[in-house]
Structure 1
């Protein structure tokens, strides 16, 4: 999505925040490259280890150093996925932070939104553009990151440190749940910004609410099979995102009236 193919307020949103969008895209690509490169290195190390004739399960005399070195590489790959899971868990708060602060909160606090409203852009169209552009980019970007994480996670079963899909960091980084959670973070950021109308306060409250929601999700999640849980939680998160979005437009209409 580029400013060239967009019109009206959507194009303005991209132009105003193109640096953040470019940086975010570059960081996402760097993360994808890091996971892929880490697995390539781990896979190459496995081939080299197999060529030594040593075995992790049945270590023989003279293989201690090779076994420890190989297990260290696999362990570091497992830790990398843990860190990637933490980043995925933090994405809703980061997205909400951006929406509540630079995207909406700052315009409400500075009063620059009046410029858009006075140029034949209705308040509803203004807010729709503020949500549509980051919403589309968030859904597409997080879906790709989730798919890459799932691929990296599946590779752990070829190592001595397999990760279970029920682990909180793994579960929350795969499937449709991270996409729905990120969209909820976006909607909450918009709602809070419209309610508070102060940049820093909106950002702080958005982060607090997003983190509290993440903790609550982990506390109430029942046991069960991966995909039924994923689909159920995705439906709940999307319903909450839709509710937060509807409330944001309601708040906007109240202020405009």
Structure 2
């Protein structure tokens, strides 16, 4: 997002936190490269194994080493999605941490928000900018990562270690759920920062609440087909994000009516 096409508090926010925004973009590209590179390596290993004349299903004498080596590569590819799913699961806490800490909490604690409000920027416009810019970056980045993850996960069915979409870490890393979850983390970070008004305390509480919600979601999620569950959970998460956002603006008006 270029600061040149933005105006007012949005442009200032991008300039102040451009390093974090650049790092977010770099990490997104790194995630894409990791998944694509892992599959290219695994696919190449499959081609090499096929050229040996050995078979996983019907192992013959002299093929033991080749079979074990090939299966270990496929198993590593499968494990990659468990680790990547864990990263996707904690993204909402990381987004909320950024909003609760450096984006809002620190300004409220230091009193620097008064500088923005003294330049014809209303409190509501100030908060809207604090939510809109990271919100746009979050939606774009997490949506891309989710799509790349889903593509990489689908390739596991071409290996001897397929992963099921019902597995908690895999389910939560694909579809619209991770995007909605990250937006909820953003809204919670803003609300908690406005209530606590201390950067470190806001960060700590936001991370704690995000992790509690993650565990609660995994505990109460019912079984069923993938897409109906995804759409239902997405709707719930977006509704909670909307409520948290509305409460954040209400708290802001109460403090600065």
* Same fold? TM cut 0.5: yes
Summarize the alignment of residues 37-52 of structure 1 with structure 2, pairs less than 5 Å apart.
Answer: 37-52=37-52
CA distance in 1, matches of 2:79, 2:166: 17
Structure 1 residues without counterparts, runs of 5 or longer: none
CA distance in 1, matches of 2:40, 2:57: 23
CA-to-partner distance for each residue in 1:132-189, whole Å, 9 max, x for gaps? 0000110111000000000000000000110000000000000000000000000000
CA-to-partner distance for each residue in 1:86-145, whole Å, 9 max, x for gaps? 110010000000000000000000000000001000000000000000001101110000
Summarize the alignment of residues 130-169 of structure 1 with structure 2, pairs less than 5 Å apart.
Answer: 130-169=130-169
Structure 2 residues without counterparts, runs of 5 or longer: none
CA distance in 1, matches of 2:57, 2:94: 43
CA distance in 1, matches of 2:26, 2:138: 14
Aligned-pair CA distance for 1:80: 1.1
CA distance in 2, matches of 1:185, 1:58: 50
CA-to-partner distance for each residue in 1:3-54, whole Å, 9 max, x for gaps? 0110000001100100011011111111110110010000000000001111
- Which structure 1 residue ranges, 4+ long, deviate > 4 Å from structure 2? none
Aligned-pair CA distance for 1:221: 0.3
SS in structure 1 opposite 2:3?
Answer: coil
CA-to-partner distance for each residue in 1:67-89, whole Å, 9 max, x for gaps? 00000100111111111101100
CA-to-partner distance for each residue in 1:206-256, whole Å, 9 max, x for gaps? 000000000000000001000000000000000000000000000000000
Aligned residue in 2 for 1:227? 227
Aligned residue in 1 for 2:92? 92
SS in structure 1 opposite 2:99?
Answer: helix
Q: TM-score, normalised by structure 1?
A: 0.99
Aligned residue in 2 for 1:117? 117
Provide the aligned length of Structure 1 versus Structure 2. 257
Aligned residue in 1 for 2:31? 31
Please tell me the root mean square deviation across aligned C-alpha atoms, in Å. Answer: 0.5
CA distance in 2, matches of 1:60, 1:169: 37
CA distance in 2, matches of 1:147, 1:27: 15
CA distance in 1, matches of 2:82, 2:214: 16
CA distance in 2, matches of 1:206, 1:160: 40
CA-to-partner distance for each residue in 1:195-216, whole Å, 9 max, x for gaps? 0000000000000000000000
CA distance in 2, matches of 1:239, 1:23: 29
